[in-house]
Structure 1
């Protein structure tokens, strides 16, 4: 009886061993490489093509209306820059009176009623998606502080990663003195954008 039991165990073991030996081999096909490409793009636009101070007086600091809202999108891995440059006049940035050849010059400043000055403030909004579009330090100011405009290109705001529909609000401020020549003043500010 013990011998029969022993043989039965051996037979079961042989069946298991046979199953392992004759298990089908698994074969693998060659790898398939999947590729794709995405073209770079950058775009920017403004919601306002003009803004006005109205009549400037020595008794107050004026804010132009409406503000300019700039929208920007880009898919560059290192983000993008929103640039700004000023037309000014007479070889200087600022509000230009061509008839009197007089200018209210633009510079980084804290404006004061009765003292000539002109510049902008920039603020980011929560609209859009992706990274944050941060204003440059000299434009990211409030109150009576302004960032000065330049005849050459300056960076108004920038992101370090891709963004979609991000916004910058630009506020224009000016003040005059008793020596500011009477007449009409004008300026043209040009915005552009570039990927990093």
Structure 2
């Protein structure tokens, strides 16, 4: 156990040192490119946050193509800053193309972070549906619809178990209120899912 903790501590210290050095290099490049004050400190934060967001999306297993794209962009920005401070560029006389890249980076980081944040996986969407309260019933009841008929084959659309449990609660509430089984259009409206997903859920009710 002690050997394991020592190994973990060594890895953690190494990671902190590498992160601090990379952070300082990006800050120095931003300063040399004319981004002084708090802006120079914001650049390494934006690069590291985009790198972490892309890595997290890669670990989640969703939208891997976009995650790899933004991971490579953030890694290139970090490596580029590290290489630039190694004496390959004169930081006292930064070329115009580097100033342009540094000035345009905030827009790139904002776009990447927004796209990664809004490409949420299905599990997160199901959790949002569970947290929503049932919509209030309108004054006019819709015309009665035929009850859901059992399907002969299992649907090809995968249905999360959490969504099935939520659908059962909705169906039970509808039956208690109306005395009739819930129909497919009403189930789809209450859950806010596509028709194919509603049919797949109906099999489990």
Same fold (TM over 0.5): no
Report which of the two has the higher share of helix: 2
Of Structure 1 and Structure 2, the greater strand share is in: 1
- By relative contact order (CA 8 Å, sep 6+), the higher-ranking structure is 1
What TM-score do you get using the length of structure 1 for normalisation? Answer: 0.21
TM-score (norm 2): 0.21
Structure whose alpha-carbon radius of gyration is higher: 1
